[in-house]
């Protein structure tokens, strides 16, 4: 099969592979298995794996998160998903073989749909490692100035409004 592949629900057995992809894609900004396990346990519907020809090429982690709260810190377990009016795109990580195939746009459309299902007014994310130009092209706008902290220099909090139906 060619093209982007197919997004499917993530399961616990996928977590070691998710960590491997995170290590490859994010380097110093990777997260431990426990962080991914926490997100999967608390909001499994927002976690997916991209497969093509039986090979995992990427993952998606997303969940509701209050707009007034700081974005979840890297490597920190949430413990619970609070009642939220916003949706948080924690991570879309794609191996080089999946880039440019439309997989990122498909994952973004899924996140928009989930935010609508949850009744959220917007989607927020932290763009790291120069990804803000990609997210800007996907309809996300900058919220304030660049942020520092655990995300690295030049990171940006970004937001995309959910259109009312």
Domain edges within the chain: 6-161
Tokens 């996907």, residue? Answer: 138
Report the percent of the chain where pLDDT is more than 70.
Answer: 94
pTM of the model: 0.91
CATH of domain 6-161: 3.40.630.30
Closest CA to 156 of 65, 135, 84: 135
What is the percent of the chain where pLDDT is above 90?
73
Taking only the tens place, the pLDDT of each residue in 111-131 is 999 999 999 999 999 998 888
């Amino acid at each position: 099969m060619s093209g982007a592949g197919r997004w499917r629900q993530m399961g616990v057995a996928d977590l070691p592979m998710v960590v491997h992809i995170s290590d490859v894609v994010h380097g110093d900004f990777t997260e431990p298995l426990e962080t991914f396990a926490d997100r999967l346990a608390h909001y499994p519907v927002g976690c997916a794996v991209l497969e093509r020809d039986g090979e995992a090429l990427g993952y998606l982690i997303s969940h509701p998160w209050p707009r007034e709260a700081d974005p979840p810190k890297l490597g920190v377990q949430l413990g619970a998903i609070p009642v939220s009016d916003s949706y948080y795109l924690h991570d879309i990580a794609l191996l080089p073989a999946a880039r440019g195939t439309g997989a990122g746009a498909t994952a973004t459309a899924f996140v928009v749909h989930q935010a609508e299902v949850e009744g959220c007014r917007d989607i927020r994310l932290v763009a790291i490692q120069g990804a803000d130009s990609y997210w800007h092209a996907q309809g996300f706008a900058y919220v304030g100035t660049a942020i520092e902290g655990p995300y690295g220099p030049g990171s940006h909090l970004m937001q995309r409004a959910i259109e009312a139906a």
